[in-house]
Amino acid sequence: MSSFLTVNEKNFPEQVLKASLPVIVEFGAVWCAPCKRLEPIMEKLGDEWGSKVRLVKIDVDESVDVTMNCQVMSVPTLILFVQGQEKQRLTGLQSRERIVEKFTLYL
């Protein structure tokens, strides 16, 4: 069972920018091998962080406008939003330790 909420251009403002919780958005694509390797790491972190954070997934091929507005140039990209503002960004396949190091401060 995925702990990711799939978001698109229509519900991005409501689910991410207006969220009361911090939101980690994974920008990825079905054809992206590093994205597939990152997903289990994020699933486990989502379980560990529980109700402190919302995990969201955006397919860059299906949500081009959101992807461009967020200036995502490669996948996977993780962006942490807090109260609608970008607080942290990681690009490329990251280790669990690196993700925890960069994001825990904001949760």
Please check whether residue 59 is in contact with residue 29, taking contact to mean a CB–CB distance below 8 angstroms.
yes
How does DSSP classify residue 32? Answer: -
Reported as type and span, the H/E element at residue 5 is strand 4-6
| DSSP SS3 for 104 | helix
Give the residue numbers marked as catalytic: 32, 35
